[in-house]
Structure 1
């Protein structure tokens, strides 16, 4: 039986805005959002991703915690918001991060991010014996190195000294909440992204804990996404310039909140997000996993569950081709990053759909959904002497969407046919990519006017948690925006190319393993930077 969600407290009518804090992979963004859903101001603070050796992807947790404080201070200053106007702070956060904490509350490790692939062997081991799929069906977290379950298992097997010193295994939002409140709490949505949380019982899963080699007490206390934290430490209030104790809604993951922010509470509509990575998500009324383990299933509230799949290579693939071709673009003249990006879009627009038969499998950082193959690599197929740089750009953009189309097909297997896609993220700024999305998927695509989906979702959840709204549907319109209908001729071209794309990918399975092994063999510890 599911645990009841916390009763919602009442609020002061003079408290007119929610301060949403979205902790992302490359930056933390703070937003001031009105009760009517208007974004008054935003402020982002960036931080680096460290790759100390191949397959690793880490960040400094203290740096991210400071970024959250800085973003809040600056957005309040920009919007000229007084603390008396703030109803609550509400969090959104990236998923799958892991930090080992000692008994004194100090981190023993960096923040190991979703992009980290060190646990490939542990994943393959559980896939081979079938236990991974069994755990997936109970937890909803795909069998992939991103999952904290496999990261902990890796640590137990390869870093025993740190493993034995660890009192708590937490994620980045838990780290921030601990700094603010001296409490280890994790919301149900982030808990259900760990691979350690039972979807039906909303408790830590005993078999998953056994596989990880840890006990329940080494994890944070699971709480509803609507849980309100009070008693902020005086030192944190001082850093934020606050004099009163502002309630903090523990919030949820960026993925489920993006669906909420886009107004997607219907399984016939799906969100498509492309930032650094990409994702497709729809919303169900009960937890449901995919028969082959293609999709995640994460909790939003007891009434809403988000299913879908994330791909590793979204905007990062376009950034790669931009960096690769920058000399050709600039022709000796300095250009800003935005100017370079605009040029790439021009090249793509000048190139026919299908890039004259050039395909790109853009798996430069391995892949998650639907195959969860960390050893997958990037490929250009069909190259001829007639192909130019502009074909490469178009092929990369199409390849990203081919991968998302594969996820869309898996989503439809669980939730039924989709009638609309709502797209957000950095790619939504590209008119070419927008139309391409509709043409490849064959589904009408809406680009909402406001694309701060995860931050808006956090604000909506905050209003619900504080009792301002009686349901998650805050009544904000998400129908306004630019609509892209399917170009039938272009869709037919992509319908012909997709089976070829899939065939190339499937035949490369063993080769992916071999080339990855070769790449790892060339790594020298003394080359670490």
Structure 2
């Protein structure tokens, strides 16, 4: 038996999934780690905690495979969160923790890039919207506010590249991850000269761009021994989690959108060449040089649902723990008692600023329309509807760029909720299909590994392994409520945007 492992490097956990030679899941292991928010707008991870999580997850699934004589791990391949940045000195000593996509401390320098016109010029070549998430902005922040780090930095990597460097001594970055840095020219597939000039960073400080099919062997023997695999086991670079999510749910044909809601979320479609939005609202990231994922990410997804659980449904959380049930199941049952539209209660979910569609790190959340008749249940349903309306706003921008959407493939934590799936179908007025395999990112990483090793000819082989467990059709009874509310949600988000900076600055000034 030949096994492969797909690794999903996430914001708060790393998951390793073991697949057999028929691409069926055998077992998985998930190891979590904290996201450090020591000061306002910070979102960092510890390098050693992530490295340990990777080693532990790989060790667990290799042991669970119980390899017999003749069995082997044919490859390990990666799906990774994008936009992270780590600085190292000339001796490869880390000078920072992992500065993640969720870190918005570079907001000041992002706004300067937008206002002086340089941001628009760089976006048109890199496909990465100008936002504090991107390493482009993070480098400007380091340069101005942590000059000692900036001056001593000889190398800059993301989290996946750091793991590969520690395991193999390499210094490479796949073009998918590179295309999310804001520093990479997606038309000539190299680091962009203008972006480098703006940040003051040189090519020598950045890793070598490679195809997602590149792989390393000759692992440090100590780590190979701990994991329980040969040192020459191929580790395939793979790609960013967004592009691989599209592949993993077979959303690669024209008009087929993939919607992912995990901690954050995104809606994406695949094009055969880079597509730039004249208004700068959507990203274009590489899956490989022949497949480009166009879409928009949202900061506020499942983490907002978690916020509602922790702050409004503590009793249900405790009850669920006592009964051995999932608190989210209890909460969605409560929300399902409220009619579509939450009887006129609207929630803007911008608890963590926002990327698409408004690209405003100062954005803040709000309930609008509260009256005496509204209850916790109304607020909960409006939270779910607000997250969905926001993704719908992104889809409207996406349709301007790539054309109309025909159907939706759903993945991520929300795909487990029948209420939420139906809500997406009703608000989008599109069928929503949920694939059988929830481990879509890891499966896609394994498909990339199979192409890298010559076991398959193209990525479309994944269609054989992605089934549809259910398709949710739009419910016409809910159309009227959502059609009336959607324009109010959109207009209100624009009106509130005039005050987001003021309230964000107030919060920063008075936060403890």
TM-score when normalising by structure 2: 0.97
> Within 5 Å, which residues of 2 pair with 1:424-439?
424-439=411-426
Equivalent residue, structure 2, for 1:27:
13
The alpha carbon displacement at 1:67 in A equals 0.6
**1:466 and 2:450 matched:** no
Deviations 1:464-503 (A, max 9, x none): 1110001111242424211000111212211110111112
Which sits farther off after the overlay, 229-238 or 442-451?
Answer: 229-238
The alpha carbon displacement at 1:214 in A equals 0.8
The alpha carbon displacement at 1:330 in A equals 6.0
**1:105 and 2:108 matched:** no
> Within 5 Å, which residues of 2 pair with 1:394-433?
394-433=381-420
Partner secondary structure for residue 473 of structure 1: helix
Q: Distance in 2 between matches of 1:285 and 1:334?
A: 47
The alpha carbon displacement at 1:338 in A equals 4.5
The alpha carbon displacement at 1:264 in A equals 1.8
**Contact 1:99/1:169 (8 A) holds in 2:** yes
**Contact 1:267/1:283 (8 A) holds in 2:** yes
Gaps of 5+ in 2: none
Residue of 293, 305, 310 corresponding to 2:280: 293
The alpha carbon displacement at 1:258 in A equals 0.8
Equivalent residue, structure 2, for 1:73:
59
Equivalent residue, structure 2, for 1:3:
none
> Within 5 Å, which residues of 2 pair with 1:220-369?
220-329=207-316, 335=322, 338-369=325-356
> RMSD of the TM alignment (CA)?
1.5
**Contact 2:62/2:228 (8 A) holds in 1:** no
**Contact 1:30/1:72 (8 A) holds in 2:** yes
Cα 1:331–1:224 change in 2 (3 A) is closer
Q: Distance in 2 between matches of 1:22 and 1:514?
A: 38
Q: Distance in 2 between matches of 1:248 and 1:459?
A: 11
The alpha carbon displacement at 1:417 in A equals 1.2
**Contact 2:412/2:438 (8 A) holds in 1:** yes
**Contact 2:270/2:292 (8 A) holds in 1:** yes
Q: Distance in 1 between matches of 2:319 and 2:213?
A: 54
Q: Distance in 2 between matches of 1:309 and 1:338?
A: 34
Equivalent residue, structure 2, for 1:39:
25
Cα 1:229–1:295 change in 2 (3 A) is same
**Contact 1:37/1:476 (8 A) holds in 2:** no
Equivalent residue, structure 2, for 1:18:
4
Deviations 1:437-468 (A, max 9, x none): 10011110001111211111101101111100
Aligned residues: 510
Deviations 1:118-150 (A, max 9, x none): 000111001111111111110011110000010
Equivalent residue, structure 2, for 1:49:
35
Q: Distance in 1 between matches of 2:96 and 2:323?
A: 36
Equivalent residue, structure 2, for 1:498:
486
Q: Distance in 1 between matches of 2:26 and 2:82?
A: 27
**Contact 1:309/1:407 (8 A) holds in 2:** yes
Cα 1:330–1:271 change in 2 (3 A) is closer
TM-score when normalising by structure 1: 0.94
The alpha carbon displacement at 1:271 in A equals 0.5
**Contact 1:35/1:463 (8 A) holds in 2:** no
Residue of 472, 483, 507 corresponding to 1:519: 507
Residue of 47, 53, 74 corresponding to 1:87: 74
Q: Distance in 2 between matches of 1:228 and 1:343?
A: 44
**Contact 2:268/2:293 (8 A) holds in 1:** yes
Cα 1:188–1:161 change in 2 (3 A) is same
> Within 5 Å, which residues of 2 pair with 1:187-206?
187-206=174-193
The alpha carbon displacement at 1:431 in A equals 0.8
Cα 1:279–1:331 change in 2 (3 A) is closer
**1:136 and 2:123 matched:** yes
Q: Distance in 2 between matches of 1:212 and 1:244?
A: 38
**1:375 and 2:344 matched:** no
Q: Distance in 1 between matches of 2:320 and 2:248?
A: 41
Cα 1:450–1:52 change in 2 (3 A) is same
**Contact 2:321/2:327 (8 A) holds in 1:** no
Residue of 147, 152, 158 corresponding to 2:134: 147
